[in-house]
Amino acid sequence: MDASAQNPIASETAARLVLDWYDRNARRLAWRAPPGSPPPDAYRVWLSEVMLQQTTTAVVTPYFERFTARWPRVEELAAAGDSEVMAAWAGLGYYARARNLLACARAVAARGSGFPRTEGELRALPGLGAYTAAAVAAIAFGQRAVVVDGNVERVVARLFAVAEPMPAAKRTLRELADAITPQDRAGDFAQGMMDIGAGVCTPRSPRCEVCPLAGPCRARAEGDPARLPVKAAKPPRPERKGRAWWITRMGPAGREVLLVRRPARGLLGGMATLPDDGWSASHDGQGAPPLAGPWAPCGNVSHVFTHFSLALEVMLYSGRNSPNICALDGEWWPVSRIAEAGLPTLFVRAAQRALAFGGETD
């Protein structure tokens, strides 16, 4: 599609409308520099963009603040241990991001000169896709780059009334975003478009009365902007079943629970969890418990992953200390400090279920 043929508004006019609005209405975010200020450090831009993938600003903000307080520079993050970073990431979800985060931090530290400045060089770093590379190039380094996330796609789809269903429309939407991205202040323009999408041109009930692009917006002129972008029907999400095993023993300093470390690659890769029966995205769990019973069911916890949902039954070992328990592979963690173990959300809920059932006592 020829973007210029679709363009109802001159690129200079679109940029001016967005930037004027952004100068007055920019969100204050922990990783952002106010309009007109020197750009933020590339490390902070990159870290925030990785965290914000499929996650809201409200959820990300405390994680970002903890990460930057603990590891203020990319070199310090690069020097951190895998398990240390995975534990700090626990609860943020999409754990492949944390593995990519470490790989990228170590690649940047190895360069010895910080993050590269151009979009192409940024794309060569581990785990940096087109969106993140463009965002860092534009926001941190003032490069002209076309930054297109879900919010920007929605604004552009409505501005140009793109009726082609997603995800096939992504290429068209990027071309149209390119057509209105200015040469100067591309980073502020991108953040302005994101803010318009987040707070004005929202998925439902868009606030057209306060939108800076309301005048030239084709979807508004057609009377139903909320219908765009057109979403493709999602296939049904498979439902899986599994079990998690809560096993405790009396250690030198009090009661301890058995944790295991998942393989570095794959679902929840590198995370500390309770032992489970081998459930996955492709099949129910069917594995035997780590030791013979007695076992007591504590109830179920549920969790929705990207491609499947899981009903996890929590099973509590109700026997006494024995040589078989002491021989189990894993790490014995103090039950009183389970909140510090860095468990992913699913296993936090499983631990809470076991503790509510009496999993801290003999």
pLDDT of amino acid 8: 55
Q: Contact 350/244 with Cβ under 8 angstroms?
A: yes
pLDDT of amino acid 266: 85
Q: What angle do CA 150, 217, 27 make, to 5 degrees?
A: 50
Tokens of 237: 């999400």
CA–CA distance from 142 to each of 14, 117, 344 (Å)?
19, 9, 37
> From the CB of residue 283, how many other CB atoms can be counted at a distance below 10 Å?
12
Q: Tell me the Ramachandran region of residue 286: left when phi exceeds 0, alpha when psi lies from -120 to 50, beta otherwise.
A: alpha
CA–CA distance from 204 to each of 42, 165, 228 (Å)?
33, 17, 10
Q: For residue 276, what is the DSSP state?
A: B
Tokens of 269: 């890769």
Please identify which residue in the block is written with the tokens 């690129």.
11
Query: CA 12 to CA 17: how far, in whole Å?
Result: 9
pLDDT of amino acid 306: 87
Write the single-letter amino acid at 45. Answer: V
pLDDT of amino acid 12: 81
Q: Can you say how many angstroms the Cα of residue 145 is from the centroid of all Cα atoms in its chain? A: 22
Q: For residue 33, what is the DSSP state?
A: P
Q: Contact 278/287 with Cβ under 8 angstroms?
A: yes
Query: CA 202 to CA 154: how far, in whole Å?
Result: 8
pLDDT of amino acid 5: 43
Reported as a single tens digit per residue, the pLDDT across 223-282 is 999 999 999 888 899 999 999 999 999 888 889 999 999 988 888 988 899 999 999 999
State yes or no: is 313 an active-site residue.
no
pLDDT of amino acid 3: 45
Q: Which of 12, 49, 76, 164 is catalytic?
A: 49
Reported as a single tens digit per residue, the pLDDT across 3-44 is 444 555 767 889 999 999 999 999 999 999 999 889 999 999
Residues of the chain under the 50 pLDDT cut: 1-5, 362
Please identify which residue in the block is written with the tokens 């917006």.
217
Query: CA 332 to CA 250: how far, in whole Å?
Result: 10
